[in-house]
Amino acid sequence: MKISIDEKHLYDINADVTVVFTLDTNELLHEGVLKELGFKATQDETCYISEFKTLYVGVEANEHDLFRCAAATAIKTLSKFNYASFKVAQGDVDNKEGIFNALVEGFILGSYKFETYKSEKSPSNLKEIIFSSKTLEDKTSEISILEEILVRAQILAIATNYTRELVNATPEDLFPLKLANIARDLAKENNLECKILDESELKNENMNAMLDVGRASRHESQLIHLIHKPKNPRAIVSLIGKGLTYDSGGLSLKPAASMVSMKLDKSGGCAVLGIMKAISELNLPIEVHGIIGAVENMIGGDAYKPDDVLTAKNGKTIEVRNTDAEGRLVLADCLCYAQEKVQADYIFDYATLTGACVVALGHYTTGLMGHSTKLKHSMSRSAFNTGELVGSLPFNRYLKKQLKSEVADISNISNKPYGGAITAAQFLDHFIEDENKEKWMHFDIAGPAYVESAWGYNPYGGSGAGVRMTVDWLSNIK
């Protein structure tokens, strides 16, 4: 979809439909008609006046994420019509309140549809969005500022939709080797370095925990390592993603209902790919390493078992008490690999790690965990800037003791059923070197990564959680 900016006032621009976002019905061009129709401008409420070819969309308050949601509502509404173009005012002068950026993102995120497996598609006739550089109050923004914001917003929203597409792909279509090939294609298109480790190379790296998780699958496990390496980078960052292309639970088999939608378990790895796509297209002056453990956790005669003791890359032994706590085993080896290969200033990992995080924070919120309060606060600011929801869960020494094993260095699950999101992160903490403790943060995206109902500007299925807030955070490194 083409998005452009015009210096004319909104009502002087030629387009099929006009879209107006409003906090109330006072002093609007069609105020009388709107009141007759009972339009109250509540959040995401719409009123289309056919006579004037104008769509009004309500916004609850002057907050950028509410405009992002309203923009998604607008484009979903208009996609049902036969119009090819619409025009809209840019929102606030020079985007000081983030509204122009939010509208661009909202239109692109709201237009996303996953119809790969449908025999009949539902294409939209919409081809063009034209923004006025003026607000409805006739205040003007610099075109150069808006154009810069437009490019950035498009890159971020498209990278998010790219992530959604990967998350939504079925396990039969997107298995570890296929994810590795997608990473190779992304590297070629976006001038990234790319290293892929197959199972023989993983064995040479002593990444036995990751190998054991995937050994019952007919699809070989793969480690993906993408690198964005500009000259004189301001910082070096490692991003590690859990890429379980499917999780049956292993021999600790999931109930049938819980197994449906487990294609989502690759969301952390897909988020890392989306972030690498965005930062390379923005050409951020940060060296970024995207590392993904791509594995399929299946059952069979060769499956790893409860009571097995696995040896991770750093030599620590792990007692397996539940094979459905597999993501942390993959991440343990990937975190060790990342610290051995890269001297990073920051280390972030992304995973749909625990249902316990959904219990704690709900479906729409990412759990932030780690040792650095400063790091968590700075990421919370970036989450706010992009409309993503985060909540911090605290570590404590009493919960950590629940991972004790009598037969190995550590157990892969807690001996108590409570605080599971925190104990999972504290398991990962055992694989973070002491000098890196303050550099590391864990993102449990189990809640927002995949939801089986539309919410805000997110559709049914994959949301692309983690992409926009991380790129915002990386963009603010000085």
Catalytic residues: 254, 328
CA 348 to chain centre: 13
Q: From the centroid of its chain, how far is CA 226?
A: 17
18 three-state secondary structure: strand
What are the backbone angles phi and psi of residue 413, rounded to the nearest 5°? Answer: -140, 160
Pairwise CA distance, residues 20 & 57, whole Å: 6
Cα 226 to Cα 342: distance, rounded to the nearest angstrom = 12
Name the region of 71 (left: φ>0; alpha: ψ -120 to 50; beta: rest). alpha
**Residue position matching structure tokens 């509502």:** 73
Q: Which residues contact 271 (CB under 8 A, 6 or more apart)?
A: 163, 241, 350, 445, 449, 464, 465, 466, 467, 470
Residue matched to tokens 């605290």: 394
Q: Which residue in 376, 365, 367 sits closest to 424, CA to CA?
A: 367
Q: Classify 427 as helix, strand or coil.
A: helix
State residue 241 phi and psi, 5-degree precision.
-120, 135
The H-or-E segment that residue 383 falls in is helix 373-386
Residue 315, classed as helix, strand or coil, is: coil
**What are φ and ψ of residue 299, in 5° steps?**
-110, 160
3-class DSSP state of 295 = strand
Q: Measured between alpha carbons, how far apart are the two ends of the chain, in Å?
A: 34
Residue recorded with tokens 């709201």: 110
CA distance 412 to 241: 18
Tell me if 254 sits within 8 A of 262, measured CB to CB. yes
Write out the DSSP string of 258-278.
Answer: HHTTGGGGGHHHHHHHHHHHH
> What's the DSSP call for residue 120?
S
